[in-house]
Structures are given as structure tokens and as C-alpha cells.
Structure 1
Amino acid sequence: MNEATTSLLAEHFSYTPLSLIDDIINSINNLIYQAISSLESGLINTPPERLGFAHASNGSTIPDTDEDGNVVYPEAKLEIENGLHQLETLLEANVDKAFDKFEIYVLRNILTVPEDLLSSVRLKHYENLSFVPSPDTPTPETILAQRKKLIETRKLSRSLKDECARNDVVISQLRSILSTVENAKPDGGADATENKENNQPDLSFLTSSPAARQLRVGVAAGSNTKHTPLTTNTTFILSQLPALQTTLEQLRPRLAALPQASVAKETKSKRDERKEYIESRIRLHLERAGQLAMGDDGHPMVAGRRIDISEAHALENVASMLTHQKKA
């Protein structure tokens, strides 16, 4: 029996053919176990004398008895158990041999469908169904692609939701600042004091500073004076940012091409300043420790005598010569 026949019969019967045969074999085995169990109970309850067991009648030994005074035959129980075990094994072997033939016969001759009829058999719940796939039927590749698109769409949705939440926070902060600016007066009067008491930022400088007056933002003037809103100036500044960025990108290569002399000079001057600072701190430390005396002109003194700069150079040359001789 092939897989197609097994699938067809299992779908028709709602169980596989092997499960039916296994149930029949299990039922026969249960009958065998029940018969063996009944036979065991009958043999154990039968007096051993009726089964042919007896003690020696030479009078030299006294047989054992139980509480009721009946003679006990220990070998009877052991022989009954061995006999029942052999009988059960024999019955199981015969059943297995017989039902193996039964299983082969049923699967080949009863629970089977000829191969030439297998393709033409159609179950009742398959009637009026067309198995020809339509052109729009999704393939595993298209389903996988749609699944990936769905995953990416969910990621984008979560990212947009997070961005929307952050934007809402920023908008609420900007609205609070804008309301503070609108309520602020040019002279920083009562509204500024009220904002300070409410722990709100004092943004009155946006409308009352000299720069704000020069740009005519929020200043009190005559009826003929035209006021420029703060949003107009901000829009103008934002519109100039691309031009500033373009100019900056043009100036960066020119700045890199400038000579480095001035930079090196500045670095060297900083290095000299650091060297002079370190020398001054060393000299001050030696003076405080009494290891170096200084003259009036700032030159070091040795044993009360002034050391000339040429003598210092000569001592340095001698020290360097001694160092080279030791290394050699």
C-alpha cells in the first residue's frame, strides 16, 4: 500500500487502515490476558491435592500447614506461575503469527484501492471542486515577500509612532514658549514677573531687547510704524541657512589649502611659553630648597660665584662627552 492509497482511505474512514488492524489485534490480546488471569485465579484457589501435589508418606517429615491447618505446598505456586507464563507466551506467539497474515491479507485485498482507479476516485466532499490553480494563486515566494513587507511595515509604523510622540512633546514645549512670548511685554513688567513666579522662562528679551527694537519685533510704536513678527525674522534666517552652508562648504577646501606657517608659529609659541613656565617653576623650587642661588641678573651662582653662560655650555659639553664614553 502506497502513501496515496493510505491518505485516501484515512480521509474516507477518518482513521488509518493500520489503526483498525491494531485495534483488532489489541482486542485479541486483551482476551488472552483475561483468559490467563481467570485460569490463574482458578488454579490458585484449587487445593494442591486435586492438582496432583502430595507429600511423602514415610512419616519422617511433618508437612507445613497454614493458620487454618491446611497443608502448604510451596512448589505448587511456583509451578503454576511457570506454567501460566509458558501458556501466555505460546498464545501470544500464535496470535502474532496468525494476525501478521491477517494484516497482510486485509491491506492487500480489503483496505486498498487499485492504482488504476486511484486517480478517478473522488470523495463526496470533493464534488464540484476545481483543483486547477487560478493565475492569482499566491506562491510560497510571493507569500514570503508579503510577510517581509508586513514586518518592515510594522517596523516603520512603530518608528513613525515614536517620532510622532517626540514631535508632540516638542510642539507642546514650543507652544508654551510661544504663549510666554506673546504674553511678555516690552518693558518686562507684570507679565515677566508673573512668568518668573510660575517658573516659566522669561523670554521678554525677544521683544524688548535693543535688537528686537531694531528689527521692530513687538515694540510699541505709532500707528504709522510697521511691525515685523518674530516668525517673519525666523523664516528669513532659516531661508539663509542653505546659502550659509554652501559658502561654508566652499571655504573649507580653501582653509585646508592655506599655509601652515601661522599655525606652526602659534604652536611653537605655545610650546615656548610652556617651557618657560616649567623652567620658572623648577628654578623656584630649587631656590626654596637651597640648591641653587641666583644672582642679581638672574644667572645661577655656584659656591658664591656667578656662573657665566659659556661655563654652563662647557659643563654641558663635558657631561655629554662623559655620557658617550660610558656608553662606548
Structure 2
Amino acid sequence: MNDATTSLLTEHFSYTPLSLIDDIINSINNLIYQAISSLETGLLATPPERLGFGHASNGSTIPDTDEDGNVVYPEAKLEIENGLHQLETLLEANVDKAFDKFEIYVLRNILTVPEDLLFWVRLKHYEGLSFESSPDTPTPETIHAQRKKLLETRKLNRSLKDECARNEAVISQLKSILSTVESAKSDGTADKSQTTPKKDLDLSFLTSSPAARQLRVGVDAGTNSKHAPLTTNTNFILSQLPALQATLEQLRPKLASLPASTVEMETKSKRDERKEYIESRIRLHLERAGQLAMGDDGNPVVAGRRIDISEAHALENVANMLTQEHKSS
């Protein structure tokens, strides 16, 4: 049986042919289990003497009895269970063997459709249907185009909804501003606000910080001042940027053409200069703080309090940070 025959029979019967055969086999197995169960009940209820069990009559042993005085045969129940199990196994093996033949026969000769008639069979619910394709039948290309158009339409709809939400937020803000102005006009505060000069935007934080005061940023030019205001400095820096960029473009090819040893020597010399500079600044700071003095031989002599280990670690961390920054640059 091929897939086409199975599909046709399944659609006709509303169940697969193999499920029908499985139901028949399961029904036979249930009958076997019921017969074995009834047989077990009958054998256990029959007195063991009638089944051929008995004790030796030599008088040397006394048989065991139950509460009613009946002789007990413990080996009878064990033998009955063993015999029933063997009978059940024998019946199941015979049923499986016989119904395997039954399954093959039914699928080949009864629940089947000849191949030469397979494509001529038409079920009742297919009557009146036309299987010829019409010119309006969609093709995979048209379906793909419609799907793409649907995706673009959804994307446009989503963007329009977002734009509408933004416009509503702006409109609500404008309405709140208009309501505030109208309420101010009604209270007579609008005229007062018109006569009051408008306060300039406060950007003093750009020039009032400690770093700005130290660098003299934002100081107005006057008769007693040699520094230019912030706008003049900014305009000058912006005007110099093109020249700096042009110089860098000229220097990059020359730097690439230099030998590697020259670049390494220059880098090493710069690293040594930075190290000497850091050491000199540290020595100068310690001398000013009264914690370091120079001896006659030129070596530093510790004076005053002893340097704490945490301060030494902090100075080492600063030196390492400056070295790493130089390497990254």
C-alpha cells in the first residue's frame, strides 16, 4: 500500500486502515486477558485436592491447616500462577503470529485500491468541483509581491502612528503654553513681563568653574587684561584646525617611511624624558612639603615625617597611568 492509497482510504473512512486492524488485534488481546483472569479465579477457588495436590500418607509429617481446619497447600498457588503465565505467553505469541498474517492479507487484498483505478476514484464531497486552474489563480511570484506590499504597508502604518503620537505631544505642549500666556494676559501680568527686560541665558558655568579660572577661560578683554574672551579663543582654535589637519596628512606618509629602529628610539627617549620629568616633579613636591632634602652627594635625604606606604603606592599608580596614556597615544 502506497501513500496515495492510504490517503484516499483515510479520507473516505475518516480513519487510517492500520488503525482498524490495530483495534481488532487489541480486542482479541482483551478477550485473552479476560479468559486468563476468569481461569485464574476458578483455579484459585477450586480445592487443591481436586487439582491433584496432596500430602504424603506415611504419617511422619502433619500438614499445615488454616483457621477453618482445611489443609493448606502453599505450592498450589505458586504452580497455578506459573501455569497461567505460561498459558498467557503462549496465547499472545499465537495471536501475534496469526494476526500478522491477517494484517498483511487485509492491507493487500481488502483495504486497498488498484493503481490503475486510483486516479479515477472521486469521493462524494469532490463532486462538482473543478480542478482546472483559472487565469486568476495566484502564482508564487504574485503571493510574494503581495506579502512584501503588506510588510511595507505595516511599516508605513507604524511610522505614521509614531509621527502622529509625536505631533500630538507637540500640540499638547503648545496648547499648554498658549493657555499659560492667555491666563497671564487675563491677570494683567503680560504687560509687566513685556516691560521687564528679558534675562539672558545663564552660561556662567562655562567660565566660573575652578578649571576655567585657572586657565583664564572666558575673561573679557579689557585695558588691564591680556587674555581674550572665550569666543575669541574658540574662533582662533577653529581657524587653526584646517592647517593642523593638512600638516597631519603630510606627516603620516613620512612617519610610515621612517625606519622602525628610529621610531623605537624616539619612543624610548620620550618615555625616558617623561619618567625623568615625573621623578623631578615628585622630588620638587617633596622638597616643598619639607619631606625630602638633598644631601652633599646629590642623593635625597628623608627629612621630616616618614612617607607612608599608601602614598608611595598612589605615586606609583599615577606614574603607571601616565605611562599607559602615553603608550595609547
Per the TM superposition, whether the score is higher than 0.5 is yes
1:191 — aligned with what? Answer: 190
**Is the aligned partner of 1:119 residue 2:86?**
no
1:172 — aligned with what? Answer: 172
1:20 — aligned with what? Answer: 20
Identity of aligned residues (%): 80
Q: How does 1:90-105 map to 2 (within 5 A)?
A: 90-105=90-105
Residue 10 of structure 1, CA deviation: 0.6
User: How many residues were matched structurally?
Assistant: 218
Q: Deviating runs (4+, > 6 A) in structure 1?
A: 182-185, 252-255, 257-261, 285-289
Task: Tell me how large the CA RMSD over aligned residues is.
Answer: 3.9
Larger radius of gyration: 1
Residue 148 of structure 1, CA deviation: 4.7
Unaligned runs of 5+ in 2: 199-237, 248-283, 293-329
The answer as to whether partners of 1:5 and 1:112 remain within 8 angstroms in 2 is yes
1:77 — aligned with what? Answer: 77
SS at match of 2:9: helix
The answer as to whether partners of 2:5 and 2:113 remain within 8 angstroms in 1 is yes
AA partner of residue 150 (structure 1): L
Change in CA separation of 1:47 and 1:164 when aligned onto 2, cut-off 3 Å: same
Residue 142 of structure 1, CA deviation: 4.5
Residue 45 of structure 1, CA deviation: 0.3
Residue 67 of structure 1, CA deviation: 1.3
> Once the two structures are superposed, what CA deviation does each residue of 1:97-150 show, in whole Å capped at 9, x if it has no partner?
111111111111111100000000000000111122333333456545544543
Change in CA separation of 1:3 and 1:191 when aligned onto 2, cut-off 3 Å: same
In 2, Cα distance between equivalents of 1:260 and 1:102: 95
In 1, Cα distance between equivalents of 2:287 and 2:77: 115
Q: How does 1:84-233 map to 2 (within 5 A)?
A: 84-140=84-140, 142-178=142-178, 189-192=188-191, 204=194
Change in CA separation of 1:164 and 1:253 when aligned onto 2, cut-off 3 Å: farther
AA partner of residue 74 (structure 1): P
Change in CA separation of 1:255 and 1:114 when aligned onto 2, cut-off 3 Å: same
The answer as to whether partners of 2:181 and 2:190 remain within 8 angstroms in 1 is no
In 2, Cα distance between equivalents of 1:77 and 1:288: 108
1:64 — aligned with what? Answer: 64
2:260 — aligned with what? Answer: none
In 1, Cα distance between equivalents of 2:86 and 2:157: 75
SS at match of 1:173: helix
SS at match of 1:72: coil
Using structure 1 for the length normalisation, give the TM-score: 0.56
The answer as to whether partners of 1:10 and 1:17 remain within 8 angstroms in 2 is yes
The answer to which of 53-62 and 133-142 deviates more is: 133-142
1:31 — aligned with what? Answer: 31
In 2, Cα distance between equivalents of 1:144 and 1:85: 65
Unaligned runs of 5+ in 1: 194-201, 210-251, 262-282, 292-328
SS at match of 2:56: coil
Residue 50 of structure 1, CA deviation: 0.2
Change in CA separation of 1:90 and 1:286 when aligned onto 2, cut-off 3 Å: closer
Change in CA separation of 1:288 and 1:79 when aligned onto 2, cut-off 3 Å: closer
In 1, Cα distance between equivalents of 2:40 and 2:289: 118
Q: How does 1:271-286 map to 2 (within 5 A)?
A: none
Residue 183 of structure 1, CA deviation: 7.5
Change in CA separation of 1:288 and 1:157 when aligned onto 2, cut-off 3 Å: same
The answer as to whether partners of 1:184 and 1:192 remain within 8 angstroms in 2 is no
Residue 18 of structure 1, CA deviation: 0.7
AA partner of residue 174 (structure 2): L
Question: Whose relative contact order is higher, 1 or 2, with alpha carbons under 8 Å and at least 6 apart?
Answer: 2
In 2, Cα distance between equivalents of 1:82 and 1:287: 108
> Once the two structures are superposed, what CA deviation does each residue of 1:63-89 show, in whole Å capped at 9, x if it has no partner?
111111111111111111111111111
2:53 — aligned with what? Answer: 53
In 2, Cα distance between equivalents of 1:9 and 1:58: 73
